[in-house]
Amino acid sequence: MILKNLKSKGYRLTNARKIIINLLLIAGQPVDVFELNRLLIKKGMIVNKTTVYREINTLVKERIVKEIQFKDGKMRYEIQLKDNHHHHAVCQMCNKITPVVSSALEKTVNQLEENIIKENEFHIIEHSLEFIGICNKCEPSRAESTGLPDIKRRNPVPTS
Amino acid sequence: MILKNLKSKGYRLTNARKIIINLLLIAGQPVDVFELNRLLIKKGMIVNKTTVYREINTLVKERIVKEIQFKDGKMRYEIQLKDNHHHHAVCQMCNKITPVVSSALEKTVNQLEENIIKENEFHIIEHSLEFIGICNKCEPSRAESTGLPDIKRRNPVPTS
DNA sequence: ATTTTAATGCAACTAAGTTGCAATTGCAAG
DNA sequence: CTTGCAATTGCAACTTAGTTGCATTAAAAT
């Protein structure tokens, strides 16, 4: 369906495009370009990084892929499946990503968006909500160590 | 109070530190390092970018400053005042930032966080919620133009 | 005033992402 | 199935945010 949709819009179904879409579908969680490249190589395909970036931007533009930023300075990408709106809980230490779904939350957020549109006169296109924390697996090691978590961020927060 | 707090923890009250804190207090909205530098120069202070980055990281570490990412590839920083938890609506076109406050939303999010902690066994430290859209001022020009908004992003989404 | 150590500046570096351009390749039409 | 054209790709060089090591400077405690 994704491919057909793209084709109908004049895009070509190139190898790179098809494989990238497939990998993102399989991934099931946000991946960065480095990871995507690793997956491509594993599939026996070497795709230039320029192409990967351009391809992803095309998919973002066509709203097939959604961009997500955690705090490590790189964009991550996730396939947008219909009726699959969700958020993420990210472990500061191991970067493990857990999807978070809550209809109650969506309801409140949608309500709020309507209010913002009315009151602040601001047209909202989308929102991004991320939870940052420490997963169960990393929690013990954090308690043991003298230091703070081995946060994988571009801008590391030093030990307090 | 911020300065006293820092001093009590063994930090020195250097010129750069004091001015940076002041500028962030005055700014009242998230600023990036480029902007912060501009403000410093306007105040007659030239501070090396390394120092600015290091200073901000110190303030983040001490939870005086909060990091926020929109989608233009640079971190923004905002002073954390107590009882001032809020979110942001960002205009894709002009990058104008509007604070969003909603006690209903906080309530729902806190509820959700408790559930995540219980069910997913994930310890949540913080969350980030941003609304992306188009402000009133930019909306007309968008309607007129053939193309998409002049999105100020590192990874621009081309016109469809 | 002296000393200690945090903070600073500098220059060189890293890494994510972009750009211009020439070469390649889908794919539609004949 | 060949041809032509525009979309796509690869490459190399570039941009920009942020980092690091190290020598120097400057708070502030004594």
Residues 60-99 of A with CB under 7 A from strand D: 73
pLDDT in tens, B41-80: 999 999 999 999 999 999 999 999 999 999 999 999 999 9
Q: Beta-strand (E) ranges in A39-150? A: 65-69, 75-79, 87-91, 97-100, 122-135
d(CA B15, CA B9): 17
- How many beta carbons lie within 10 A of that of residue A41, not counting itself? 11
d(CA A86, CA B133): 19
Cα distances from A88 to residues A5, A21, A143, B65, in angstroms, run 28, 21, 24, 23
Q: Beta-strand (E) ranges in chain A? A: 65-69, 75-79, 87-91, 97-100, 122-135
Cα distances from A37 to residues A2, A43, A49, A50, B58, in angstroms, run 21, 10, 8, 11, 34
Distance A6 CA to D9 C1' (A): 18
Domains and CATH numbers, chain B: 1-82 (1.10.10.10), 85-153 (3.30.1490.190)
Name the residue with tokens 């109908």.
Answer: A8
d(CA B100, CA B130): 9
Q: Which residue numbers in chain A have pLDDT < 50?
A: 143-160
Cα distances from A90 to residues A30, A126, B71, B96, B122, in angstroms, run 11, 20, 18, 27, 9
Bridge partner list, B129: A129
Cβ atoms B33, B76 nearer than 8 A = no
Q: Do B133 and A111 touch (CB under 8 A)?
A: no
Q: Which residue of B has its CA nearest to A102?
A: B112
Total number of residues shown for chain B = 160
For each of chain B's 160 residues, which pLDDT tens digit applies?
Answer: 899 999 999 999 999 999 999 999 999 899 999 999 999 999 999 999 999 999 999 999 999 999 999 999 999 999 999 889 999 999 988 888 999 999 999 999 999 999 888 887 789 999 999 999 998 888 765 544 433 333 344 443 333 3
Distance A118 CA to C28 C1' (A): 48
Q: Beta-strand (E) ranges in A36-119? A: 65-69, 75-79, 87-91, 97-100
